[in-house]
Structures are given as C-alpha cells and as structure tokens.
Amino acid sequence: MSEFLDFLKNKFAYVAIGEFKPGKFAEAKELFTQAVATYHEGFQGAYLLQEPASDRGIAIIFWESIENMEANQNEIVQEIFKHMNPLFVHAPNTSFYEVVSEIPSTEG
C-alpha cells in the first residue's frame, strides 16, 4: 500500500523568473549549473530556460518535497547565489508550485 501512496505524492517546483544584466546570462547559467550540482536528496531535476535573443529566463527546479529543497540550501549554494544576485537587473520573482500533472513524451 505504501508504494501506491508514494505514487500519489506530487513533486514540487521552485520557479524563478528574472532578467540578467546585458551579457550576463552565460555567467548566470554557469553559476546555476554549479548550484544544481550540489543538490542531492529529494532533487528531481532542473531546467534553465532563456528567452531567445534576450537576458530573460526562467529557472525551474523540481523537488520531492519543499523540505528537501530547504535541506539542500547549504553554504556552497548560498555562496554561489551571492555571486549570482548582482547579475540580475532586479531580484527575480520566485514561487513554489505543486506539480499536479506530468505527461511524459511518448517518443522514444
């Protein structure tokens, strides 16, 4: 029965929408990759999206639970974000979402 209940658990997504100073997206991408590389327990994957021909983007990080996300906020991640914050035009808009539907591709 616990396997069935585990199947019903939804993951969570941390979403940040922001704009970097001109020409800073590549540097921010590298810092994002460094931060994500430190994530472990409960980490379910991440995407960094860039609007074409701009420095605007969306970061989406999937977690098994909000508690897992909070547990992964270590000193290394905080130091990386200290370097990333000055790259933004202004602070990004951030939110948490519960993933209520996930439709995988049927393509091989």
Domains and CATH numbers, the chain: 9-98 (3.30.70.100)
Q: In what order do the strands lie in the sheet with 12-19?
A: 43-50, 56-63, 12-19, 93-98
pLDDT bin (cut points 50, 70, 90) of residue 4 is very low
Gap between the Cα atoms of 40 and 44, Å rounded: 9
pTM of the predicted structure, to 2 decimals: 0.86
Q: What are 96-107's pLDDT values in tens digits? A: 999 998 888 898
What is the reported pLDDT for 5?
46
Q: Give the type of residue at 79.
A: E
Contact 56, 50 (CB under 8 A): yes
Assigned token pair, 17: 């929408």
Q: Is the pLDDT at 94 greater than 50, yes or no?
A: yes
Residue 107's pLDDT is: 85
Point out which residues pair with 95 in neighbouring strands.
15
Helices 75-84 and 25-37, packing angle to 10 deg: 170
- For the segment 27-85, what is each residue's pLDDT rounded down to a tens digit? 999 999 999 999 999 999 999 999 999 999 999 999 999 999 999 999 999 999 999 99
